[in-house]
Structure 1
Amino acid sequence: MTATLAPPVRAGKAAVGALGLLALASGALESVVQPTLPLLQRELDMGPTEGALLGILLPITGALVTPLAGRFGDRYGGKRVLVRLMIVVCVGGMVSALAPGLPVLLAGQVLQGAMVGALPLSFIVVRKHLSAGQSKVAIGVVSGLFVGGGMLGTLLAGPVAEQLSRHWMFALPTIAVVVATLLVNGLVPADSADRSDDAGVDWPGLVLLSGVVITLMLVLNLAPDLASQPLLLCGLVVLLAALVAGWIAVERRAASPMIDLRLLARPMVWKSSVLTFTICVGTSMAIFLVTQLWSASGAGYGFGAGATEIGLFLVPSTVVATLAGPLGGTWERRSGSRSVATAGVVIMAVALIAMAVAHSEAWYLVVGKALVALANGLVVTAMTTGVATSVAATETGVATSLILVTRVLGMASGGMLGGVLLAAGTPAGSDVAAESAYTIGFVIAGVVTALALFVTRTMYKGVKA
């Protein structure tokens, strides 16, 4: 297929601004659960494990929807699929806002998970309607605003939930998503389909990937009970291995695979995916552990902070994350992916280990969380921009969906692992995890993050990567 050198219609600043606003609003809606988990646990009578489950349902759905969104965007046009996808997200946001209890709230989170698929669809649009240099800037801005929106939602969710109600913390960002979707529909030019294949949906691959993700979460959830349920845990591990093997076999034979393994095998793509996963595991564990520690009231540790205070503690992280996105994209264009990734991994690993050692003052955690946000913004934005601009325009949706899938899986795994560690470290008859559980959690997150240095040292130096 011959690539078109110049798109027939150029996207103006207003169109890019609409996509950025949609990313900002979607990021805010995605992030409101994590900082308010203590409040939701109290109001809905949830334990740490149930709280972690609530926090990971949305990213799990995102991991399943995003590859399909990227594939459909490449096939039928990014804008067309984007608008329809956001209608589902808006419905999910309203379901969460009106939810009377945990079951309905879980259903709303599942529907909201479709929002993660908006990013590869936005990247498809900008690559079709902007030049190569302009598309790099636009992709960096959209990615950065999504991360910044996440920090904004984290910041405002607590005060809104406490001053109004938990219902409004879902309703307000949902209204913003509705407005942004209308602007995208009106301002963004339509893009034509790049592929005319009629291979259909890779349903076997989708079902097997769903089994992989759900089984992985069960394995993490049952890990603390290894001594009492070893056969069950071993059975789940065997099932997970079988599902992964079956999924790989199906994807290799599929005419139109949900996740193109040949694309994933490219060095730039798989290395970026590994780095994104590890950095997001560290980020998610840090978010969960820090917010729980701020709200905890243990003997000699914890600060008993409410949702509003936690939101104020996260102000520096919000500012840093918003700036880190564009900075990561610019740094990657000038110095290459290796320097950005190495710096981000080192910053995050040091911050996590530092919080394991020193967490007796609230401001220690404020600084540590800000450094984690900086590292996450640098690495994820640089990896996404690098991959999006290193493949053909007709592969933009599929390629970036791989990075986003690893991002949501990393966030899901980190959040669940944090919940499991605190649940395992909670003494019998107590509702507060022991201080050692937080220390161990920060150390594990730091070690997992540092392991990514084995990948960064194999990347090309300079902009060639």
Structure 2
Amino acid sequence: MPHTPTPPPDTTKSAPPNPNLVVAVLAFAGIVVSLMQTLVIPIVPELPNLLNAPASDTAWAVTATLLAAAVATPIAGRLGDMYGKRRMLLTSLAMVTAGSFVVALSDSLTPMIVGRLLQGLSAGVIPLGLSIMRDEMPAERLGSSTALMSASLGIGGALGLPIAAFVADNFDWHSLFWASGILGGLSLVLVVLLVPESKVRTGGRFDLLGGVGLAAGLVALLLAISKGGDWGWASGTTLGLFAAAIVILIAWGFFELRTTQPLVDLRTTAKPQVLFTNLAGLAFGFSLFALQLLVPQLMQLPEQTGYGLGEDLLAVGLVLAPQGLVVMIAAPLSSKISQAFGAKYTLMIGAVIVAIGYALNIFLMSEVWHLILVSCVIGAGVGFAYGALPMLIMSAVPVSETGSANAVNTLLRSVGSSLASAMCGVIVAQMTIDFGGHALPSENSFKVIMAIGCGAALLALLLASFLPHKRSTITAHGTPANAPATADAGHKA
């Protein structure tokens, strides 16, 4: 019998991606982008002098990022579903890198705002990373991977403050943005080298009018929330923006329900599992950010007030830093609980832990270790919740809508954070004491904020209780085991 030679191995096919590397790179990218939330905080009081501009104008260095992120998040998610999630992820990382270098090279207000706008446009990284994981991760790795990716928003926010405070205290402020630009560039290179492009696409035509309408409504809403305290909550500008936001978003909703290829599928968003998960995400966004606003003010107030701790910003950052580590530890643990009992119960556990943390804070606020303990407890609850949120979303939507659905959930967490900022600002401005001729926030103002944070967590618990009792699972390559098939789901590029 003649010998048949063995054909040479096929070297044209690339090796499958290493799941551990893909998860590490995507989580790193999420942390880099979430650092942008706290990067500028240490230098905000100094910006008027640094940029030779009034404080009312330099405040746009924060507001611009908030508005750009709100607009970019849902649009990036939808474009990722349509044209490639990795492609949009690279675009987003290019934005944060370019924005960082623009600010690093600036010494005046205009380039600072332009750079911060570009940084805000990178906010779609986390929902895009979640969507890539759904498409590429083995089923047994999906829960822990998405939990870590979702939690990167809290990890970066907590770790960013101590790092930024240390750099701002010891180096020129531009070095903050040189460093963030380098980190953004590194994450960009790592994604190019190690993250595959998902072949799951929806195709179709981008809903440009829907994008413009949603952007206009969100900008009006968040501008009113973020600047209402400066302009006056009863001023014509603030009330006009709120009214415009309501009218535009209602009109946008009617348009989205009637278009054949909407930016956001509101019918899917109205499904109980998606709706209540999104509302719970908004409540958790409020709870997490309320603590990050509360601790810095309380720690930096003079000890002579009787409740202030008289610490500097670096100490504040070191107090909050362990929270990021706790979030990182809790996120994969949450996936194990979700697999055993269902993500609904993981979300409810997270809400209970956060509520306990704020309740403790009402009574434990007079020592540095009190605040470390409270921030770690709340961090654990946030890790559980942020790990459960994407699992609940992805198990309820078609694979072709993963990016858009995750983006809406991420957006609502950001809206919750904006509401926390506005409400806390009002409370500390109204509940004050006279200290040497200066009005400072009173001790009761902090306790009221803690009580509201506890209430927001209990609201999230109530909303989670309305989630369906059925067990939701996601099978290999991101197909929801209980999601209906759709006509355009799973189109290949």
Could you tell me the TM-score, scaled by structure 2's length? 0.82
Map 1:409-424 onto structure 2 (within 5 A): 409-424=415-430
Look at both structures and tell me which one has the larger radius of gyration over its CA atoms.
2
Map 1:92-131 onto structure 2 (within 5 A): 92-101=99-108, 103-131=110-138
Q: Distance in 2 between matches of 1:45 and 1:374?
A: 42
Q: Distance in 2 between matches of 1:226 and 1:363?
A: 37
Partner SS for 1:419: helix
2:132 counterpart letter in structure 1: V
Deviations 1:157-185 (A, max 9, x none): 11111111332223213211211111111
- What is aligned with 1:183? 190
1:24 to 31, 40, 43: 31
2:357 to 351, 358, 362: 351
* Contiguous gaps of at least 5 residues in structure 2: 1-12, 474-493
Cα distance, 1:291 vs. partner? 1.0
* Contiguous gaps of at least 5 residues in structure 1: 1-6
| Conservation of the 8 A alpha-carbon contact between 2:224 and 2:242 | no
- Name the stretch that deviates more: 289-298 or 396-405: 289-298
Partner SS for 1:432: strand
1:265 aligns with 2:270: yes
Deviations 1:386-414 (A, max 9, x none): 32244332221111111111111112221
2:198 counterpart letter in structure 1: D
Q: Distance in 2 between matches of 1:79 and 1:141?
A: 18
- Name the stretch that deviates more: 159-168 or 103-112: 103-112
- What is aligned with 2:459? 451
- What is aligned with 1:283? 288
2:159 counterpart letter in structure 1: L
Cα distance, 1:242 vs. partner? 1.7
Cα distance, 1:96 vs. partner? 3.1
Cα distance, 1:45 vs. partner? 9.3
Cα distance, 1:264 vs. partner? 0.7
| Conservation of the 8 A alpha-carbon contact between 1:421 and 1:437 | yes
- What is aligned with 2:404? 398
Q: Distance in 1 between matches of 2:404 and 2:255?
A: 17
Task: Tell me: CA distance 1:448–1:136, structure 2 relative to 1, closer, same or farther (3 Å).
Answer: closer
- What is aligned with 2:180? 173
- What is aligned with 2:250? 245
- Name the stretch that deviates more: 251-260 or 38-47: 38-47
Cα distance, 1:22 vs. partner? 1.8
1:436 to 434, 437, 444: 444
Task: Tell me: CA distance 1:171–1:29, structure 2 relative to 1, closer, same or farther (3 Å).
Answer: farther
Q: Distance in 1 between matches of 2:345 and 2:58?
A: 36
2:430 counterpart letter in structure 1: A
- What is aligned with 2:82? 75
- Specify which structure has the bigger relative contact order, considering alpha-carbon pairs within 8 angstroms and separated by 6 or more residues: 1
Q: Distance in 1 between matches of 2:426 and 2:59?
A: 8
Q: Distance in 1 between matches of 2:383 and 2:231?
A: 35
| Conservation of the 8 A alpha-carbon contact between 2:130 and 2:150 | no
1:192 aligns with 2:199: yes
- What is aligned with 1:148? 155
Task: Tell me: CA distance 1:180–1:279, structure 2 relative to 1, closer, same or farther (3 Å).
Answer: same
Q: Distance in 1 between matches of 2:283 and 2:300?
A: 26
Task: Tell me: CA distance 1:430–1:116, structure 2 relative to 1, closer, same or farther (3 Å).
Answer: same
Q: Distance in 2 between matches of 1:117 and 1:302?
A: 38
| Conservation of the 8 A alpha-carbon contact between 2:343 and 2:391 | no
| Conservation of the 8 A alpha-carbon contact between 1:285 and 1:417 | no
Deviations 1:400-444 (A, max 9, x none): 111111111112221232233323345686263333332222222
| Conservation of the 8 A alpha-carbon contact between 1:422 and 1:437 | yes
- What is aligned with 2:97? 90
Q: Distance in 1 between matches of 2:444 and 2:60?
A: 22
Deviations 1:232-253 (A, max 9, x none): 6655543332223122122222
Deviations 1:322-359 (A, max 9, x none): 21222223322222122222222122123223323442
Cα distance, 1:52 vs. partner? 7.5
Q: Distance in 2 between matches of 1:319 and 1:462?
A: 32
| Conservation of the 8 A alpha-carbon contact between 1:335 and 1:462 | no
- Name the stretch that deviates more: 71-80 or 34-43: 34-43
- What is aligned with 1:332? 338
Deviations 1:176-217 (A, max 9, x none): 1211111111222233352231x2343344334433443344
| Conservation of the 8 A alpha-carbon contact between 1:95 and 1:108 | yes
Cα distance, 1:67 vs. partner? 1.2
Q: Distance in 2 between matches of 1:324 and 1:35?
A: 28
Q: Distance in 2 between matches of 1:37 and 1:304?
A: 19
Partner SS for 1:452: helix
Cα distance, 1:29 vs. partner? 3.5
Q: Distance in 1 between matches of 2:209 and 2:299?
A: 43
- What is aligned with 1:371? 377
Q: Distance in 2 between matches of 1:101 and 1:420?
A: 30
Task: Tell me: CA distance 1:265–1:49, structure 2 relative to 1, closer, same or farther (3 Å).
Answer: farther
Q: Distance in 2 between matches of 1:291 and 1:41?
A: 20
Partner SS for 1:259: coil
Tell me the percent identity. 25
- Name the stretch that deviates more: 314-323 or 23-32: 23-32
- Name the stretch that deviates more: 215-224 or 246-255: 215-224
- Name the stretch that deviates more: 259-268 or 269-278: 259-268
- Name the stretch that deviates more: 250-259 or 73-82: 250-259
Q: Distance in 2 between matches of 1:317 and 1:35?
A: 18
Q: Distance in 1 between matches of 2:379 and 2:118?
A: 26
Task: Tell me: CA distance 1:455–1:146, structure 2 relative to 1, closer, same or farther (3 Å).
Answer: closer
